[in-house]
Amino acid sequence: MSTTETPSSDRPSKRTKMDGSSSSSSAPPPPGPPPGPPPQPPKENPYLSHLPVEQRFTSSSNSTSTSDPLAGLIPRKVTGKQARAVMEGDINPFSSTPKPFSQKYRDILAKRKDLPVYAQMDEFYEKFNSNQIMVMIGETGSGKTTQIPQFVAYSDLPHTTKQKGPDGILAPRMIACTQPRRVAAMSVAKRVADEMDVSLGKEVGYTIRFEDATERRTTFLKYMTDGMLLREAMNDHNLERYSAIILDEAHERTLATDILMGLLKEVVARRPDLKLIVMSATLDALKFQKYFNNAPLLKVPGRTFPVETFYTPEPEPDYLEAAIRTVLMIHQAEDAGDILVFLTGEEEIEDACKKIKAEADELANTNPDLCGPLKVVPLYSSLPPAQQQRIFEPAPAPLTEGGPPGRKVVVSTNIAETSLTIDGIVYVVDPGFSKQKVYNPRIRVESLLVSPISKASAQQRAGRAGRTRPGKCFRLYTEKDWANELIEQSYPEILRSNLANTVLELKKLGIDNLVTFDYMDPPAPETIMRALELLNYLAAFDDDGNLTPLGEIMAEFPLDPQLAKMLIVSPEFKCSNEILTIAAMLSVPNVFVRPNSQRQQADAAKAEFSHPDGDHLTLLNVYHAYKTNCPDASTASQWCWQNYLSHRALMQADNVRNQLQRTMERFDLDLCSTPFEDKRYYINIRQAIACGFFMQVAHKEGGTKGGYTTIKDNQVVSPHPSSSLDHTPEFVLYHEFVLTTRNYIRTITEVRPEWLLEFAPAYYNPNNMEGEVKRIMQGILAKKGVGSSSKKKRV
């Protein structure tokens, strides 16, 4: 051990320097041992970090509390009284190197004590200690998301019960808390790290796609997206790294949460040591309790301001017009306070913003004594972040001092219902509609439909008016309709989605029977059948419904099965570099920007990248141009702007591509390209795509010009007008079927019927086909019989 620099001599000298009180930073170190250290709190001795907490402190005659702050606490027998004593004690037992609590910690603790959930700590520990599963209901402002995981930490004491993982590393058994959204996982983790007086990414961390802010040896509390925990479960069916799992926002019923609930119900039965807490905001607790074997309920009140609700006396024939009228009415008649209006989509919102602005300006001009200035701000997810930020700008000031107040109106999609919170909203206008995803298994199409919202949604919307002070909510439907027409809860996502991906994941999670799996809400059998059928055609499942080796690998890619398949086969076509790009570009939002005022310029810019054989190749061109022309971030944003491309989406594509490439490497899948000069360069790429998407092909109708019919379901479809395909080939492969004003196929590429027969012979067996396609396929097969000899001749 070194004798020149002991921990005790190091600290005082450092302190002098930091204070700036030393005359010169280049002053030589004081000769010999420094004078004895001044009285200070117990110090941790870094050479003793292998010892239990209480022995790690350097004994000093002045220090009074050298005992373990956790002395007497038995994991999972901890009481509220004990936990409070530690929280209010001197030493932070959770920091990796124990140290006294900071002043900041004490300030935050004082505020935490005001949270409704804090008052129920004793009740929480009673239920937590004696039950494996519990259900918690806490409305907005109860503090459940930040406090409950901490309460669990005080009971599990995860840092004192480390275990060796398969890699031999000694790590704490973690507490996981899942969130449906990335931003929530990040921001809550940050907040809780502050509350516990530890560093983010060390003791308390978060894991979201593309970002892992945790440390294997030290992290014991981890916030994560629900999808991320599901990914982890695919390779660790018992979730052995966790001692407790908290599913937050379970009422949102995301696909990932629903699958996790079914899975955890099984895991909990296999692992009696695993605790599960399901947290929800709604009153539908009974359903959760019943599902989880009558688990006990802890109910915590919320903390929001009252919101007064108004209904229209008669049904409104035109909700858009009614919404605009209501905004102007509020503006003229109500006290100061901002307005939030819920509409269904981008076009509707932009339209409403224009109309509100025009009418409000006129009102302010003709009647300046009655109406202040109005600032109208649109909000939807595809809006660039800078414009989204406008919702946080303050309301305009009155035009004249003491005149009628200025007001801000935010016209938003559902994004303001859960994902984004705007402070200062006092009035909410709720027409009662939103766009919702629906899945039709019969024609295998997901589409968006404007539908009435649920009561739970309506309550959530109203609640947005009461975040900072009492508010008002104007519902543009009658009270009778509220009572009789609105359903209690929105249908969970699992009932509204194509489940191809989910079924693959479930198999990979070790679920044998997908039909008898204990779903909280079982999807339609037909939806599962459609998924099984697709996965069987893609050779991910064998005929007995078991995962094939190919299926095992497909499940590891964060992609739809079709995309995963084309990526995995791409090395066989010598084009995996290119397919990686295409898969990434298809996984991010549209890269083409088309402002209403500059459509022609935008279309011209897009034409520069167009590939005549199809949109997939156009996407490849865009990515190549982006990488070639944008060596660094500063030039990238300008180049994207000039070319009417979304920089955000392209950066995201780059991220996704890197992640996919790492997965390819993990499975030793070759990264290769056909030389660009080779005439097979594009053919190889199109063939690889066909291997994944042979089930999404349309055939040109004999009669109508430019019209197509899908092969399996005989749906009449039109190529989407945005397509770069410059001709109408006999067969086109499409990435998406979109149901709007008409049936469109979007992102399309020409394919040859010969390829379809070669790469998907079972699917294109003429015996299963009808009409013209059947004849074409028969013709090719007949020719092939002859053709095989001519091929030999050529070789």
Partner DNA sequence: GAGCACTGC
The reply on whether position 452 binds DNA by CB under 7 A is no
The reply on whether position 456 binds DNA by CB under 7 A is no
Interface mask toward DNA for 154-193; x: CB under 7 A: --------------------------xxxx----------
How far CA 396 is from CA of 19, 338, 404, 406, in Å, comes to 45, 10, 11, 5
The sign of the dihedral angle between the CA atoms of 639, 641, 644, 647 is positive
Structural element, H or E, at residue 359? helix 346-366
Dihedral Cα 525, 528, 530, 536, nearest 10 deg: -130
Closer to DNA by Cβ: residue 117 or 563:
563
- What is the number of other CB atoms lying within 10 angstroms of the CB of residue 311? 15
Query: Which position among 257, 436, 577, 687 is part of the footprint of DNA (CB under 7 A)?
Result: 436
Query: Which position among 123, 346, 730, 772 is part of the footprint of DNA (CB under 7 A)?
Result: 346
Distance CA 233, CA 245 (A): 12
Query: Which position among 114, 321, 347, 393 is part of the footprint of DNA (CB under 7 A)?
Result: 347
In terms of phi and psi (left: phi > 0; alpha: psi -120 to 50; beta: otherwise), the region of 588 is beta
Query: Which position among 629, 722, 730, 772 is part of the footprint of DNA (CB under 7 A)?
Result: 722
The reply on whether position 724 binds DNA by CB under 7 A is no
Query: Which position among 202, 437, 700, 712 is part of the footprint of DNA (CB under 7 A)?
Result: 437
Residues 256-285 that bind DNA (CB under 7 A): 256
The reply on whether position 599 binds DNA by CB under 7 A is yes
Closer to DNA by Cβ: residue 156 or 226:
226
Residues 92-121 that bind DNA (CB under 7 A): none
The reply on whether position 415 binds DNA by CB under 7 A is yes
Evaluate whether 255 touches 286 at the Cβ level (below 8 Å): no
The sign of the dihedral angle between the CA atoms of 13, 15, 17, 20 is negative
- Which residues, including other chains, have CB under 8 Å from residue 302's CB and lie 6 or more apart? 116, 138, 139, 140, 141, 142
Query: Which position among 105, 288, 380, 731 is part of the footprint of DNA (CB under 7 A)?
Result: 380
The reply on whether position 345 binds DNA by CB under 7 A is yes
Distance CA 572, CA 95 (A): 52
We find the least distance from the C-beta atom of residue 253 to DNA, in angstroms, to be 11
Query: Which position among 366, 597, 634, 741 is part of the footprint of DNA (CB under 7 A)?
Result: 741
Residues 558-577 that bind DNA (CB under 7 A): 558-559
Backbone angles phi, psi at 176, to 5 degrees: -110, 140
Q: How many residues bind DNA (CB under 7 A)?
A: 48
- Which residues, including other chains, have CB under 8 Å from residue 498's CB and lie 6 or more apart? 439, 441, 444, 446, 527, 530, 531
The reply on whether position 661 binds DNA by CB under 7 A is no
Mapping DSSP to helix (H, G, I), strand (E, B) and coil, where does residue 234 land? helix
Helix 561-569 and helix 525-537: axis angle, to 10°? 10
We find the least distance from the C-beta atom of residue 80 to DNA, in angstroms, to be 33
Structural element, H or E, at residue 182? helix 182-196
Q: Which two tokens stand for residue 315?
A: 């049904």
We find the least distance from the C-beta atom of residue 723 to DNA, in angstroms, to be 8
We find the least distance from the C-beta atom of residue 238 to DNA, in angstroms, to be 19
Query: Which position among 357, 594, 700, 712 is part of the footprint of DNA (CB under 7 A)?
Result: 594
Residues 381-410 that bind DNA (CB under 7 A): 381-382
We find the least distance from the C-beta atom of residue 183 to DNA, in angstroms, to be 6
Closer to DNA by Cβ: residue 86 or 534:
534
- Least Cα distance to 154 among 202, 192, 181, 187 occurs for 192
Q: What is the largest CA-CA distance in the chain?
A: 100
Query: Which position among 90, 552, 603, 772 is part of the footprint of DNA (CB under 7 A)?
Result: 603
The reply on whether position 461 binds DNA by CB under 7 A is no
Closer to DNA by Cβ: residue 90 or 603:
603
- What is the number of other CB atoms lying within 10 angstroms of the CB of residue 131? 16
Which range of residues in 118-126, 431-439, 456-464, 669-677 is near DNA by CB under 7 A? 431-439
Mapping DSSP to helix (H, G, I), strand (E, B) and coil, where does residue 505 land? helix
Q: Write the secondary structure of 189-232 as one string of H (helix), E (strand) and C (coil).
A: HHHHHHHHCCCECCCEEEEECCEEECCCCCCCEEEEEHHHHHHH
Residue 770's identity, in one-letter code, is E
In terms of phi and psi (left: phi > 0; alpha: psi -120 to 50; beta: otherwise), the region of 266 is alpha
We find the least distance from the C-beta atom of residue 134 to DNA, in angstroms, to be 25
The reply on whether position 687 binds DNA by CB under 7 A is no
Interface mask toward DNA for 207-246; x: CB under 7 A: -xx---------------xxxx--x---------------
Dihedral Cα 11, 12, 17, 18, nearest 10 deg: 70
Which residues are at the interface with DNA (CB under 7 A)?
180-183, 208-209, 225-228, 231, 254, 256, 344-347, 380-382, 413-415, 419, 434-437, 448, 501, 558-559, 587, 589-590, 592, 594, 596, 599, 603, 720-722, 738, 740-742, 744
